[in-house]
Amino acid sequence: MEGFRSLKWITIDEEKLMDTENLYSGIKDLNRDRYSHFFHSMSDYIELKRLPSKSSFKVLGLIAILENLLTDGKINIRSITHQLQRKIILCNNRFNTPIIFTDHFKGSESNTNETIIRKIYEYRSNIAHGGVVDFEKKLKELGNKNKVVEILDLLVKRTFMLGVKEPQLMLDLKKC
């Protein structure tokens, strides 16, 4: 298989392996005190891997990591949603391979990346506050939980990679 290294019992995607190696080498050079929120988020991400992929708490955890990396910490839900919309899109524009949210989440022609990010945060709020998750009507653009977890996981990984590549940008994003 092209692009894969194979052992008798596992197959390794070489692109993911290179991402992991680049992330590790970049993290070694970061100042733990100055980028403590980054290290805290990495630790949370590792712990989050212990949860089954079907757990709704994965969505909460992945969003919490993005909040910790990108938002200023003010507890206004509207502000957090707005900050995440702007800052995720800004980061996404800087990723080596941007995520085209509208390719993953179908809906009306008026769907935008901002709308999808708002819907994902709405989904997170439904979980956190014990609301009913309605993928049939209110959150139909998202499709299902598995798709949301898959895209959030990819988004968090790429945000970590950007943070290693441009640590000052991550500090600036958190402050504004």
pLDDT of the residue at 92: 95
43 and 11: one domain? no
- The residue with greater pLDDT, 111 or 9, is 111
d(Cα 168, Cα 135) in Å, to the nearest integer? 38
The range of the structural domain enclosing residue 16 comes to: 1-30
21 and 82: one domain? no
113-137 pLDDT tens trace = 888 888 888 888 888 888 777 777 7
d(Cα 68, Cα 55) in Å, to the nearest integer? 21
| Mean pLDDT score across all residues of the chain | 80
71-100 pLDDT tens trace = 887 766 668 888 999 999 999 999 988 998
| Count of domains for the chain | 2
96 and 163: one domain? yes
99 and 74: one domain? yes
Q: Looking up tokens 């200023």, which residue turns up?
A: 72
37 and 19: one domain? no
46 and 10: one domain? no
**Model confidence, pTM:** 0.81
17 and 80: one domain? no
Q: b/e per residue, 13-51, with b = 16+ CB within 10 A?
A: eeeeeebeeebeebbeebeeeebebbeebbeebeebeee
15 and 101: one domain? no
- The residue with greater pLDDT, 74 or 40, is 40
d(Cα 67, Cα 72) in Å, to the nearest integer? 8
What band does 43 get if pLDDT is binned at 50, 70 and 90?
Answer: confident
d(Cα 171, Cα 69) in Å, to the nearest integer? 8
81 and 111: one domain? yes
98 and 20: one domain? no
What band does 148 get if pLDDT is binned at 50, 70 and 90?
Answer: confident
